[in-house]
Amino acid sequence: MAQTGPDAGGADCRDRPPVSFELFPPRTDAAALALGRTIDKLAEAHPAFISVTFGAGGSSRDRSLTVLRYMLEHTDVEPMAHLTCVGSSHAEANRLVREFLDAGITSFLALRGDPPAGADASPDAGIGDLDSAAELVQLIHRVQEEREPFGQVGIPGLPGVTQIGERPRPERVAVATFPTGHPRSRGVAQDVDTLLAKEIAGANLAITQLFWRAEDYLGFVDRARAGGVTIPILPGIMPVTTPARLARLTELTGVEPPASLAIDLEIEPDAAAQAELGIGYATRLAADVLAGGAPGLHLYTFNRHEAVLDVLDRLGIGVNDRLVNERNTTER
Ligand code: FAD
């Protein structure tokens, strides 16, 4: 079940599938300092990109931008900005996209986001001008085109003569997708249709909500392909290393973990053994989806590098393996 469509990650390591990571913006100065070290460690794994979440309603805009700028200035990693549009007017969303483009960000994860608690969450509720991620995808392309309408490119062999080149396009416009169904979705057909709408709007990559069974991801990809989706669908995987984190994730995403994992984490008293359970589970899941044709891995880090890098090491595609791979390639 190999996936078709554009490259999922722009891998710079020929020997392995592309990997990417997700971070959230820190809330305190101490956390910001720690996050800088985390980013440096993650960068050593040469990810295709690192994405930074965006607080609902723009609450984390400045902190998200600070993290993205850090990546631009201090690493070779491509930063990807999550942006949400729910509750925004066209003008506000336009300004937001322009601000991120002006900061040098060219990759986005376009999201509708969740309306404030108590607000009607249906797409027809009309809070703000933009009702879906697909509309934000279109807006990102439009703002980019308005910013840099046409480039002039030279014609080989004709010095001084130029022609209008292709319009610059954002590097990656990714969108979210939900292998076990969006909490508000009426069924899998709607999730596939929503993803197809995002692709038609101009998305070139999808990243999944976390899931716990390889067949959930692989089955969803099959249904998406049958429904006409062609863009790469990156599996989102998180090594969950404490029972408290698993409970919080379940509450946030509504995706039920396997009872066995929840119970094993709960009854295991030792923190190191708990971490081992979570990392082992994520590694097996990642291996299974890669074996099933996944075009890469998107790892949710919870702002820690240890567990996700451990998963990559166990898969044989970690930082050290990469160095080994490079050495082998040079020696050949
Ligand atoms: P959409 O795809 O636009 O819509 C979500 C659902 O609404 C659809 O699946 C469908 O069921 C329904 N729907 C949409 N359009 C229609 C229509 N026309 N008719 C009928 N039904 C429709 N949230 C944040 O606030 N910040 C983040 O940084 C963030 N990052 C995320 C990263 C990933 C990888 C994922 C999976 C989620 C993330 N979220 C984030 C959560 C996300 O904002 C919520 O899940 C939100 O409820 C849906 O956003 P969306 O972009 O999927 O919306």
CATH code of the domain containing 298: 3.20.20.220
Does residue 266 lie in a domain region?
yes
Does residue 109 lie in a domain region?
yes
Catalytic residue list: 22
Does residue 14 lie in a domain region?
no
Tokens, residue 192: 């596939």
Q: Cα(62) to centroid of ligand 1, in Å?
A: 22
Q: Cα(209) to centroid of ligand 1, in Å?
A: 10
Does residue 155 lie in a domain region?
no
Does residue 94 lie in a domain region?
yes
Give the end-to-end CA distance of the chain in Å, rounded to a whole number: 31
Would you call 152 exposed, middle or buried from its count of C-beta atoms within 10 A (0-12, 13-18, 19+)?
exposed
Residues 6+ apart with CB under 8 A from 21: 42, 47, 50, 51, 298, 299, 300, 301, 308
Q: Is the CB of 253 under 6 A from ligand 1?
A: no
CA distance linking residue 310 with residue 40, whole number of Å: 16
- Tell me which residue range forms the domain holding 67: 19-148+166-331
Does residue 293 lie in a domain region?
yes
Q: Is the CB of 116 under 6 A from ligand 1?
A: no
User: Domain count of the chain?
Assistant: 1
Residue length of the chain: 332
Does residue 264 lie in a domain region?
yes
CA distance linking residue 62 with residue 145, whole number of Å: 24
Q: Output the CA torsion 53→55→58→63 (10° steps).
A: -70
Residue pair 281/243 in contact (Cβ under 8 Å)? The answer is no
Residue pair 101/147 in contact (Cβ under 8 Å)? The answer is yes
Per-residue pLDDT of the chain (332 residues; tens, 9 = 90+): 444 344 565 444 556 899 999 999 999 888 988 999 999 999 999 999 999 999 877 788 899 999 999 999 999 999 999 999 988 889 999 999 999 999 999 999 999 998 777 666 565 555 678 889 999 999 999 999 888 766 667 777 877 777 766 665 668 999 999 999 998 899 989 999 999 999 999 999 999 999 999 999 999 999 999 999 999 999 999 999 999 999 999 999 999 999 999 999 999 999 999 999 999 999 999 999 999 999 999 999 999 999 999 999 999 998 877 655 565 554 44
Q: Is the CB of 193 under 6 A from ligand 1?
A: no
Does residue 307 lie in a domain region?
yes
